[in-house]
């Protein structure tokens, strides 16, 4: 693990600051985790840090499509931390049934290691947000998960099928993910359905 630079600031709790720095230095490794999806322009694969940032921005941009009363600040905070576990567990492709079997176990072990790097109060908050996202039981978590599922669909449409064609994904498999989007946002679910219909007409799925 990379250690913070040996600098001591006056007027602050240096032990707390160093714990925060250790976590942030470790979180920097998320930039090295490559996802299956390409960038919208098709130039290269997206990394998980870019993905998390773009989801947080998307949640704020799409806030009007969240269920009434949804705490968008909590949604964006959730999205910033939800993929931190991929530093250890790697990205599991949403249509990879084999690796999906061990995904929960691998990601929970990563959470056990990574979040305690923070000071105790911040570690508890980050773990709470991560667990909430995984459970998908609150309006905030459902909206966060909807945004998370919509993003790769947009990329795949702009890449003329992208990973759908590369990995032989069917329309039926993608529509199962649209259901999750609809659970978090009726408007985004309707858009995702129309997007899949158009992708199907264009031949972006395995028959």
pTM of the predicted structure, to 2 decimals: 0.93
Beta pairing partners, 206:
170
Per DSSP, the three-state class of 170 is strand
How confident is the model over 19-76, as pLDDT tens digits? 999 999 999 999 999 999 999 999 999 999 999 999 999 999 999 999 999 999 999 9
Average pLDDT, the chain: 95
Per DSSP, the three-state class of 206 is strand
Beta pairing partners, 45:
38
The pLDDT of 153-162, averaged and rounded, is 96
Q: What is the per-residue pLDDT for 7?
A: 66
Retrieve residue 192's tokens: 């995702």
Q: What domains, with CATH codes, occur in the chain? A: 14-201 (1.10.3210.10)
The pLDDT of 112-130, averaged and rounded, is 98
Residue 176: band (very low, low, confident or very high) from pLDDT cuts 50, 70, 90: very high
What value, to the nearest 5°, has the Cα angle with vertex 133 and ends 156 and 86?
65
In sequence order, what DSSP letters do the residues of 90-142 get, joined into one string?
Answer: ----TT-HHHHHHHHHHHHHHHHHHGGGS-HHHHHHHHHHHHHHHHT-SHHHH
């Amino acid at each position: 693990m990379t250690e913070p630079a040996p600098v001591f600031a006056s007027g602050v709790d240096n032990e707390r600051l160093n714990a925060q720095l250790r976590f942030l230095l470790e979180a920097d490794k998320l930039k090295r985790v490559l996802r299956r999806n390409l960038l919208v322009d098709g130039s290269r694969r997206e990394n998980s840090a870019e993905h998390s940032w773009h989801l947080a921005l998307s949640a704020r941009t799409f806030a009007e499509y969240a269920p009434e009363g949804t705490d968008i600040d909590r949604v964006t905070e959730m999205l910033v931390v939800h993929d931190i576990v991929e530093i250890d567990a790697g990205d599991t492709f949403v249509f990879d049934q084999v690796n999906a079997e061990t995904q929960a176990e691998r990601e929970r072990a990563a959470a056990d290691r990574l979040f305690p790097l923070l000071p105790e109060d911040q570690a508890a908050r980050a773990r709470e947000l991560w667990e909430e996202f995984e459970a998908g039981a609150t309006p905030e978590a459902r909206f966060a998960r909807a945004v998370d599922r919509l993003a790769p669909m947009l990329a795949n449409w702009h890449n003329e099928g992208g990973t759908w064609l590369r990995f032989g994904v069917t329309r039926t498999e993608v529509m199962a993910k649209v259901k999750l989007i609809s659970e978090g946002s009726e408007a985004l679910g309707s858009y995702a359905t129309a997007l899949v219909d158009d992708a199907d007409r264009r031949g972006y799925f395995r028959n």
